[in-house]
């Protein structure tokens, strides 16, 4: 939760951010900006803290203030746009448009901290930096405009003034001079094996198509006939869930050695076991885009081999092991049981792959031993 910074820190922040342009008090949302990002700029431009803005909102509709706290970008409380419009003097229809999620798989609110350094660099002054709507999608980990991987950032725009001193020191260059990092990041990304990059591009493309199909051809059960989205969802859950209560390592971590050439952009993760049902919220709560990128590459690898077997080449050509195989080999029986159960809802042509993967993983794990 955001807190008001101590007065001394606030003064430092104001100095860092430069003079506020009082001659232009109206902050217009960018066409691709999220609601929380714009409200933060709106409040900052008026020397108002976001919590004061929420207080004003609560005076009009208390439920809306609560809704904005728990879902700051895509609120769904009835009548929220009309109430907020009266506070900030903006058209309710425009607010509705800003708060439309880019896809059903948006990141959990606390995990919305992915950004493209080149986009941020183009924004100019730190107070002008803003969060793009596409960066809130859990399955997008690239900036297609600049052909760069997204990175994790501690804050956007005025939010920088609310982070702790330690974080500010650690990420000073990233936030205040992001353009200076572009060259290094670009050359490291260009040096990453193309099969890995293509796996991620392919994953994003495949999901984009799956969402398109989902919206236009979804049946009564809410799923399109091909079931692609369901298969993607289940495999992403498998890769990013702690299946053993004593282990803090996610299955995708098993593929990290295979991906050593691109380790900077493909990372595994240690995370405490996730309480609750196994579903996509785990993937959607991963803050670091390099971990989600890793899971996407892993599922793309599984599905690539599924689509073109038996002649398919492993995604990591020339390597003894490949990404999905690495992960499948470490999956414990309860993960396979869960996946088998889920696969009963998959299209029949795809269903048998779970059994095949499980058999192959068993053989592979015996070889490893």
Pairwise CA distance, residues 330 & 191, whole Å:
29
Residue 134 touching Zn ion (CB under 5 A): no
Find the binder of Zn ion among 146, 176, 264, 319 (CB under 5 A). 146
Pairwise CA distance, residues 60 & 360, whole Å:
60
**Shortest spacing between CB 270 and Zn ion, in angstroms:** 29
H-state helical runs in 192-288: 194-217, 228-239, 281-284
Shorter beta-carbon distance to Zn ion: residue 118 or 233 = 118
Shorter beta-carbon distance to Zn ion: residue 265 or 353 = 265
Residue 114 touching Zn ion (CB under 5 A): no
**Shortest spacing between CB 101 and Zn ion, in angstroms:** 20
**Shortest spacing between CB 143 and Zn ion, in angstroms:** 3
Shorter beta-carbon distance to Zn ion: residue 173 or 308 = 173
Pairwise CA distance, residues 354 & 339, whole Å:
7
Residue 137 touching Zn ion (CB under 5 A): no
Find the binder of Zn ion among 33, 71, 73, 118 (CB under 5 A). 118
Which pairing describes strands 142-143 and 148-149: parallel, antiparallel, or unpaired? antiparallel
Judged by CB under 5 A, which stretch of 142-150, 156-164, 312-320, 325-333 contacts Zn ion?
A: 142-150
Judged by CB under 5 A, which stretch of 146-154, 167-175, 269-277, 297-305 contacts Zn ion?
A: 146-154
CA torsion, ordered 269, 272, 278, 280, to nearest 10 deg = -50
Site string for Zn ion, 66-105 (x = CB under 5 A): ----------------------------------------
Tokens 């992960």 correspond to 327
| Strand partners for 249 | 270
Are 116 and 143 in contact by the 8 Å Cβ rule? The answer is yes
Q: Is the peptide bond before 13 cis (omega within 30 degrees of 0)?
A: no
Show the tokens assigned to 10.
Answer: 């606030």
Find the binder of Zn ion among 39, 53, 116, 126 (CB under 5 A). 116
Shorter beta-carbon distance to Zn ion: residue 91 or 125 = 125
**Shortest spacing between CB 122 and Zn ion, in angstroms:** 8
Find the binder of Zn ion among 53, 95, 119, 255 (CB under 5 A). 119
Shorter beta-carbon distance to Zn ion: residue 143 or 252 = 143
Question: For the chain, what's the residue count?
Answer: 369
Find the binder of Zn ion among 17, 67, 107, 143 (CB under 5 A). 143
Pairwise CA distance, residues 242 & 56, whole Å:
42
Q: To which H or E segment does residue 152 belong?
A: strand 151-152
Pairwise CA distance, residues 147 & 10, whole Å:
36
Size of the site for Zn ion (CB under 5 A): 6
Binding site for Zn ion (CB under 5 A): 116, 118-119, 143, 145-146
């Amino acid at each position: 939760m955001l807190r008001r910074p101590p007065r001394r820190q606030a003064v430092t922040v104001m100095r860092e951010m430069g003079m506020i342009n009082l001659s232009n008090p109206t902050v217009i949302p960018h066409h691709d900006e999220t609601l929380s990002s714009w409200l933060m700029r709106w409040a900052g431009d008026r020397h108002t803290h976001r919590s004061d803005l929420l207080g004003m909102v609560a005076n009009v509709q208390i439920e809306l203030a609560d809704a904005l706290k728990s879902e700051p970008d895509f609120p769904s409380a009835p009548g929220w746009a009309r109430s907020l419009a009266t506070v900030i003097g903006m058209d309710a229809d425009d607010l509705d448009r800003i708060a439309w999620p880019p896809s059903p798989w948006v990141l959990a609110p606390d995990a919305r901290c992915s950004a493209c350094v080149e986009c941020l660099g183009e924004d100019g002054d730190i107070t002008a930096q803003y969060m793009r709507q596409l960066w809130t999608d859990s399955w997008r980990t690239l900036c297609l405009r600049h052909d760069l991987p997204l990175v994790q950032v501690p804050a956007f725009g005025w939010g920088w003034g609310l982070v702790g001193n330690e974080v500010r020191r650690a990420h000073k260059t990233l936030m205040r001079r992001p353009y200076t990092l572009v060259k290094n990041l670009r050359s490291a990304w260009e040096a990453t094996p193309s099969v890995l990059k293509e796996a991620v591009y392919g994953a994003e493309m495949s999901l984009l198509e799956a969402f398109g199909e989902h919206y236009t051809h979804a049946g009564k059960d809410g799923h399109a006939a091909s079931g692609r989205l369901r298969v993607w969802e289940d495999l992403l859950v498998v890769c990013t869930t702690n299946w053993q209560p004593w282990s803090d390592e996610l299955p995708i971590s098993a593929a990290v050695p295979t991906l050593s050439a691109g380790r900077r952009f493909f990372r595994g993760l240690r995370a405490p076991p996730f309480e609750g049902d196994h579903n996509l919220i785990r993937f959607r709560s991963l803050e670091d885009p390099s971990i989600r990128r890793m899971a996407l590459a892993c599922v793309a690898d599984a599905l690539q081999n599924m689509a073109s077997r038996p002649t398919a080449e492993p995604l990591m050509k020339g390597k003894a092991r490949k990404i999905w195989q690495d992960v499948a080999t470490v999956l414990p029986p309860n993960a396979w049981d869960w996946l088998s159960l889920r696969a009963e809802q998959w299209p029949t042509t795809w269903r048998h792959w779970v059994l095949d993967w499980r058999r192959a993983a068993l053989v592979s794990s015996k070889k490893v031993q």
